[in-house]
Structures are given as structure tokens and as C-alpha cells.
Amino acid sequence: MGAARVLAAPVFACALLVAFAGGVASAPVAHAQGRSIQVYNPDAQRRQLDDATARVLKNPSDMDALRDGAEAAARLGEFEQALGFLNRAEVLAPSDPQIRAARASILVNLGKPRLALPLFEEAERMGGDPEDFAIDRGLAHDLLGDQPSAQYFYAIANRIDPSDEVTRRYAFSLAVAGEREAAEAMLKPLLLEDDPAAWRMKAFMLAVAGRPSEAVAMLYAVLPRGLAGNLAPYIRMVPRLTPGQQIAAAHLGIFPAEGGDDPSSGLVPGGAPFGTASAGQ
């Protein structure tokens, strides 16, 4: 098995880190039609990260700074740096379930579901509310090809805090499981709102259904031509992937360098994220 390729690095909110941070002033939450929408501002997150780093250097025991740093780093997709903040926080508060669950969420977004699931269980035993981390716990199961368990946790997340992200994850999980009519119905409201991420997910759903040519045509319709052209060869690969690999491709942008039958293969990021100078060469 060749090294996995990181084709895209979408930013995931890591809901657990928001709870761990106790609310984020620089990333306000808007509400529309009962759905929460995280407003992502990379400049604000970078300022928050720089400020938190300076505060930690001044006082390594500043839990508020560690919380802010972990949350900001995760929002920026800098998961390894987020883990660094959490490592220090865990030394100071080893029995804090939110820290344990936040670590698990980051591992999920790094494509390491087997390491993440036991940490979610530990967080629950420590007294953490499983509803708080249901969305990332669901993704961990999805990455391992366990779509029924994934959908169980997505349903919890959707009931407690419906959001566009949980809708996209839930819909694609249904598509991977072969429940395509249900998947289409779930995603349709976001498509009607012209949500770009939903159209991208629709393309992956077409590929999963064995219609890669239609998926590629959709990419060219909704993305800049150069970006669509770079994505097209990978979208054509999707029908040959295992369910877990399809989930990793759609949500984490991780594609295996070669196809394989192991549901966990291709879940270790490698190479430069798509969109960087080196990735485009």
C-alpha cells in the first residue's frame, strides 16, 4: 500500500473544541431556520492562535490560553499544534472529559479513528456528555466503514444541534451505505441554498453511486476549472474505494495512493495538502 495522499484539507469546526474553549468570541454562531452556522474567519483564528501562544509562553499553566490555542489551531486545520496545547492542558487537568474528547476529535480529523474511539469512551466514563461529541464520534465510525454506528451518532448530533456539517456527513454516510434516496432527500435543502460544500458532497455521492463522469461534470460546474481538473482523477477513483476510504476522501480529503480492501488503509495523511505550492507542481 502506497502512502496516502492528502488532496484537500477542509476546515472542520471540531465541535468539542468549541465546548472545551467555553465559547469563541472570534467565531460567532449564527442561527437560521433552526440550524447553527459556524462563521469561520481565518484571520481572526490566526490572531487568536498567536495571542494564545504568547500567553502560554508567559504562563504555561494558563488553562484559558491553552483552550483558546487548541480551538484556534483546530479551526485553522493545524491539528498537530492543537494537540500540543491539549497535551499541556491534560497535564494540568488529567481528568477533564472535554480535553479527552477534544483530543479524540482532533485524531478523527487527522484520519486516526481507531485511536479516537477509545478516547471518546474514556471521555464519557469521565462524565462527559456524549451528545457534545456525537458528530466526530460518528465520523470515526464512518471512517472505519461502520455506517450504521456513524448514523446513530449523526442522528444524535442532528437532534441536539442541527448544522450544515452534520447534514452533509449524515447524507454522505447514507449514500455510502446504499441508501441513496434518503441521502438525496437529506442533502436537497442545502443544494437549494447553493451551499458549495453540499454540491461538492453531491459530486462524491454521484461517484459512490458509480457515476464518476457525472460527478466530474458537476465539479467543473461548481468549482474553478483548475481545481476541478486537479480533483477529477481522484473523483474517478472513488467508486473503487472501500466505504471507509470513501468517507476519508469526501470529508478529510485523504485518498490512498493505491486502492485496497482494508477499510482503514489510506487514513494516514501524507504529502502536502492540496492547494499548496508543492501540491500544484
Q: Contact, 20 vs 70, CB < 8 A?
A: yes
Q: What pLDDT was estimated at residue 170?
A: 98
Q: What pLDDT was estimated at residue 23?
A: 33
Q: Angle formed by the axes of helices 164-176 and 196-208, to 10°?
A: 10
Give domain status of residue 65, yes or no. yes
Q: What pLDDT was estimated at residue 30?
A: 33
Q: Contact, 74 vs 106, CB < 8 A?
A: yes
pLDDT cut 90: percent of the chain above it: 69
pLDDT cut 70: percent of the chain above it: 77
The CA distance from 23 to 19, in Å, is: 6
Query: In this structure, what C-alpha cell is assigned to residue 66?
Result: 491553552
Average pLDDT, integer, range 54-77: 93
* Percent helix / strand / coil, the chain, rounded to 5: 65, 5, 30
DSSP 3-state of 29: strand
Per-residue pLDDT tens digits for 112-128: 999 999 999 999 999 99
How many domains does the chain fold into? 1
Q: What pLDDT was estimated at residue 256?
A: 86
Sole residue written with cell 483548475:
226
Query: In this structure, what C-alpha cell is assigned to residue 149?
Result: 454506528
- The chain-wide mean pLDDT, for the chain, equals 82
Give domain status of residue 275, yes or no. no
Query: In this structure, what C-alpha cell is assigned to residue 220?
Result: 467543473
pLDDT band at 273; cut points 50, 70, 90 = very low
Q: Contact, 182 vs 214, CB < 8 A?
A: no
Q: Is the pLDDT of residue 200 over 60?
A: yes
Average pLDDT, integer, range 230-246: 94
In CATH, what number is assigned to the domain containing residue 244?
A: 1.25.40.10
**Helix H segments across 27-146?**
42-58, 63-75, 79-92, 97-109, 113-125, 134-143
Give domain status of residue 64, yes or no. yes
Backbone phi and psi for residue 37, each to the nearest 5 degrees, phi listed first: -125, 115
Average pLDDT, integer, range 39-48: 79
Give domain status of residue 209, yes or no. yes
Query: In this structure, what C-alpha cell is assigned to residue 201?
Result: 458532497
Q: What pLDDT was estimated at residue 6?
A: 54
The helix or strand, by DSSP H or E, that contains position 255, with its residue range, turns out to be strand 254-255
Give domain status of residue 111, yes or no. yes
Q: What pLDDT was estimated at residue 31?
A: 32
For the chain, the residue count is 281
Give domain status of residue 262, yes or no. no
Q: How many CB atoms lie within 10 A of CB 195?
A: 17
Average pLDDT, integer, range 90-97: 94
| Window from 122-126, 198-202, 219-223, 241-245 with minimum mean pLDDT | 219-223
The CA distance from 148 to 107, in Å, is: 21
Q: What pLDDT was estimated at residue 274?
A: 29
Sole residue written with cell 474528547:
101
Give domain status of residue 265, yes or no. no
pLDDT band at 41; cut points 50, 70, 90 = confident
Give domain status of residue 20, yes or no. yes
Task: Give burial (CB, 10 Å; 0-12/13-18/19+) of 45.
Answer: buried
pLDDT band at 82; cut points 50, 70, 90 = very high
Q: What pLDDT was estimated at residue 223?
A: 86
Residue 48, C-beta contacts closer than 8 angstroms, at least 6 positions apart:
24, 26, 68, 69, 71, 72
Per-residue pLDDT tens digits for 129-158: 999 999 999 999 999 999 999 999 999 999
Range of the domain at 155: 5-255
The helix or strand, by DSSP H or E, that contains position 166, with its residue range, turns out to be helix 164-176
Residue 264, C-beta contacts closer than 8 angstroms, at least 6 positions apart:
113, 114, 143, 144, 244
